[in-house]
C-alpha cells in the first residue's frame, strides 16, 4: 500500500501548471463514441479515471492511439454494441455517460450502475427522465441500466426537476445526433458542460445555449476532428486553497481565470491576495496574516463549487474565528471531518452545515483520504500542520489529480509517496 507522507509547516512558492479538466474529460471520452471517424483530443489529464475510460472504449472496439502524455486519438468507426464489464463501470461515477453515448449511437444501452465517491444518496432519476423524454424505455435491474428505443433515439423536451451536472451532459450527449430539436430546461452551467458542448460542436453537432439554463440541440451526424480540453477549475482551486492554508506565493498557470472567479472571490474574502493574468493567477498570503472566518455555501455554478468544499474546510480550521460551511449540493459530503479532528480541528456537523471553530494549530497524524476532494483536503491540512502526516487511501486522489505529489514538491512542499508493504514498516520512497 502506498501513502503520502508530509512534513508540514512550510510555505509554498513557485509556479505550478494545471492539467486538463477531469470532469470534462470523463464526459468527452465516452461522447467520442458518437463520432464515426477520428477524434484527436488534447489536454487530457493523465489520471486513473481517464485510463479506465480508454480501457472501456477499447473493449467496445474503439481504436485508441496515445500521442503523448496528454493527447489521444480515438477512432470509434468500428465500435461494437456491447455492455462493458460491470467491474470497470462501477469504479467511477462518470460511467453513466456511456448510457447517453450508446443510446445516441445505437439506440440501445446497457451499463453497470455508476460508482464514485460516497456523499450519501446519489440517484440518477434525472438522467432516466431525460432518456425517457428522448423516447427510450429505461429500467434498472441486476445492478445495470438497460435502455432501449424502437428505432433509435429521438429529440424531445426535458425539464430537470433539480440542478444536475451529470444529467445535463448526458442528455446533451444522447441528443447530439437525434433527428429534430431537443430542448433542455433548468440545465446546469458549469464550465465543463460548455466544454462538452464545444467538443461535440467541433465534431459537427449543433448545440446552443450551453452555459445557460436553456440548451437547444439540433441533431446532426458527427465527423472526426480535434479538440483541446479546458484546464481543471477544481485542480487550480485546490492549489489556491493550499497556498491559503500554508501561506506563500504561487503562480497557478494554464488556467481560465473567469472559470475560477467563483473560487477566487471567496479566498480573497478570507484574506488571500489574488491577481490575475491572461492564463494565470498569482496567489499569496504573508505568513503573519491569519485567514478571516467566513460563511460558505456550495452551490451549482456560478456558486462556490461543492468540489472545493473540503479544501476550504482545511483552510478555515486555522482562521481567526468561527466559520460556517454548508453543502447545498450533496446530503453528506462531510465524512472527512473525522480525519481533520485527528489533527486537532474543532468541527461539528449539523445536517448539511459544518461549524468550524478556529484552533491554534493542526498537528500531523495518520489519516485517510475517504474520497477524491476529501483526499486533497487532507494534503492541504497536512501541509499546514505541525509535524508528520501520513495519508492512506491515496488511490482516491489519483483518480482525479495528475502528478499531484510532484506538483506540490515543485512549489516547495515536503511530500513524498512511501510504499508500505502490507502490515510492515516503510520500505521504499517512490
SS (H, E, C) 256-291: CHHHHHHHHHHHHHCCCEEEECCCEEEEEECCCCCC
92 vs 319 by CB, closer to ligand EPU: 92
Nearer to ligand EPU, 285 or 373 (CB): 373
Contact positions with ligand EPU (CB under 6 A) in 88-107 = 93-94
Q: Would you count residue 404 as binding ligand EPU (CB under 6 A)?
A: no
Cell, residue 332? 453528506
**Choices 122-130, 273-281, 341-349, 409-417 (CB under 6 A): range interacting with ligand EPU:** 122-130
Among 244, 250, 329, 383, interactor with ligand EPU by CB under 6 A:
329
3-state secondary structure 51-71: HHHHHHHHHCCCEEEECCCCC
Choosing from 39, 117, 315, 370, the catalytic residue is 117
Mutual orientation of helices 165-175 and 97-106 as an angle, nearest 10°? 10
Q: How far is the CB of 235 from ligand EPU (least distance, A)?
A: 10
Site string for ligand EPU, 229-248 (x = CB under 6 A): --------------------
User: Binding to ligand EPU by residue 164, rule CB under 6 A?
Assistant: yes
For residue 4, give Cα distances in angstroms to 90, 153, 204, 380: 26, 47, 44, 12
Which range in 53-61, 158-166, 195-203, 388-396 contacts ligand EPU by CB under 6 A? 158-166
Stretch that binds ligand EPU, among 120-128, 274-282, 289-297, 401-409 (CB under 6 A): 120-128
157 binds ligand EPU (CB under 6 A): no
> What percent helix, strand, coil does the chain show, rounded to 5?
35, 25, 40
CA proximity to 34, closest of 70, 86, 75: 75
Q: How far is CA 202 from CA 40, 54, 95, 196, 197, in A?
A: 11, 21, 23, 10, 9
* In the complex, minimum distance from the CB of residue 429 to ligand EPU, in angstroms, rounded to a whole number: 28
Print the binding letters for residues 178-217 with ligand EPU: x by CB under 6 A, - otherwise: ----------------------------------------
Binding mask 337-376 for ligand EPU (x = CB under 6 A): -----------------------------------xx---
Given the C-alpha cell 445492478, which residue does it identify? 143
Q: Are 9 and 395 in contact (CB under 8 A)?
A: no
Interaction with ligand EPU in 9-68: which residues (CB under 6 A)?
23, 26
Residue with nearest beta carbon to ligand EPU: 166
Span near ligand EPU by CB under 6 A; candidates 32-40, 64-72, 163-171, 196-204: 163-171
Using CA atoms, how far apart are residues 174 and 104, in angstroms rounded to an integer?
Answer: 4
The number of residues that bind ligand EPU (CB under 6 A) is 23
User: For residue 253, what is its C-alpha cell?
Assistant: 498557470
Instruction: Round to whole Å and give the CA distance between 99 and 174.
Output: 8
Cα–Cα distance list, 363 to 213, 241, 342, 394 (Å): 45, 18, 8, 20
Helices (H) and strands (E) in the chain, counts: 14, 24
Q: Which span (40-48, 123-131, 202-210, 317-325) binds ligand EPU, by CB under 6 A?
A: 123-131
CB of 329 to ligand EPU, least distance (A): 5
| Catalytic residue status for 177 | no
Q: Which residues form the interface with ligand EPU (CB under 6 A)?
A: 23, 26, 93-94, 117, 122-127, 162, 164-167, 306-307, 329-330, 372-373, 400
By annotation, the residues acting in catalysis are 117
Amino acid at each position: 500500500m502506498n501513502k503520502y507522507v508530509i512534513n508540514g509547516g512550510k510555505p509554498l512558492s513557485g509556479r505550478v501548471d494545471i492539467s486538463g479538466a477531469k470532469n470534462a474529460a470523463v464526459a468527452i471520452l465516452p461522447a467520442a463514441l458518437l463520432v464515426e471517424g477520428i477524434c484527436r483530443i488534447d489536454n487530457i489529464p493523465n489520471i486513473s479515471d481517464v485510463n479506465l475510460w480508454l480501457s472501456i472504449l477499447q473493449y467496445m472496439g474503439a481504436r485508441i492511439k496515445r500521442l503523448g502524455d496528454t493527447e489521444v486519438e480515438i477512432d470509434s468507426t468500428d465500435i461494437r454494441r456491447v455492455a462493458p464489464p460491470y467491474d470497470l463501470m462501477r469504479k467511477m461515477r462518470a460511467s453513466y455517460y456511456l448510457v447517453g453515448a450508446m443510446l445516441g449511437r445505437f439506440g440501445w444501452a446497457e451499463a453497470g450502475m455508476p460508482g464514485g465517491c460516497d456523499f450519501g444518496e446519489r440517484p440518477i432519476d434525472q438522467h432516466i427522465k431525460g432518456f425517457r423524454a428522448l423516447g427510450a424505455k429505461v429500467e434498472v435491474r441486476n445492478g445495470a441500466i438497460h435502455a432501449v428505443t424502437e428505432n433509435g433515439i429521438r429529440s424531445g423536451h426535458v425539464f430537470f426537476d433539480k440542478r444536475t451536472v451529470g444529467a445535463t451532459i448526458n442528455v446533451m450527449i444522447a441528443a447530439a445526433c437525434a433527428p429534430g430539436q431537443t430542448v433542455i430546461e433548468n440545465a446546469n452551467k458549469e464550465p465543463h458542460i460548455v466544454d462538452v458542448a464545444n467538443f461535440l460542436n467541433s465534431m459537427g453537432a449543433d448545440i446552443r445555449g450551453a452555459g445557460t439554463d436553456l440548451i437547444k440541440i439540433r441533431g446532426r451526424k458527427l465527423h472526426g476532428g480535434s479538440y483541446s480540453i479546458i484546464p481543471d477549475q477544481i485542480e487550480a482551486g485546490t492549489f489556491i486553497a493550499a497556498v491559503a492554508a500554508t501561506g506563500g506565493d504561487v503562480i497557478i498557470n494554464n488556467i481560465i481565470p473567469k472559470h475560477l472567479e467563483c473560487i477566487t472571490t471567496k479566498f480573497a474574502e478570507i484574506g488571500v491576495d489574488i491577481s490575475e493574468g491572461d492564463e494565470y493567477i498569482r496567489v499569496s498570503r504573508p505568513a503573519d496574516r491569519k485567514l478571516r472566518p467566513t460563511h460558505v455555501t456550495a452551490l451549482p455554478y456560478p456558486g462556490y463549487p461543492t468540489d472545493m468544499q473540503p479544501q476550504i474546510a482545511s483552510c478555515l480550521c486555522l482562521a481567526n474565528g468561527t466559520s460556517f460551511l454548508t453543502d447545498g449540493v450533496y446530503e453528506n459530503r462531510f465524512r472527512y471531518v473525522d480525519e481533520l479532528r485527528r489533527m486537532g480541528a474543532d468541527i461539528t456537523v449539523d445536517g448539511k452545515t459544518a461549524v468550524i471553530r478556529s484552533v491554534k494549530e493542526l498537528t500531523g497524524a495518520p489519516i485517510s483520504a475517504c474520497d477524491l476532494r476529501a483526499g486533497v483536503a487532507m494534503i492541504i491540512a497536512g501541509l499546514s500542520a505541525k509535524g508528520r502526516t501520513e495519508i492512506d487511501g491515496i488511490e482516491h486522489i489519483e483518480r482525479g489529480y495528475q502528478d499531484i505529489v510532484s506538483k506540490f514538491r515543485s512549489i516547495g512542499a515536503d511530500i513524498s509517496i512511501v510504499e508500505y508493504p502490507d502490515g510492515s514498516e516503510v520500505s521504499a520512497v517512490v
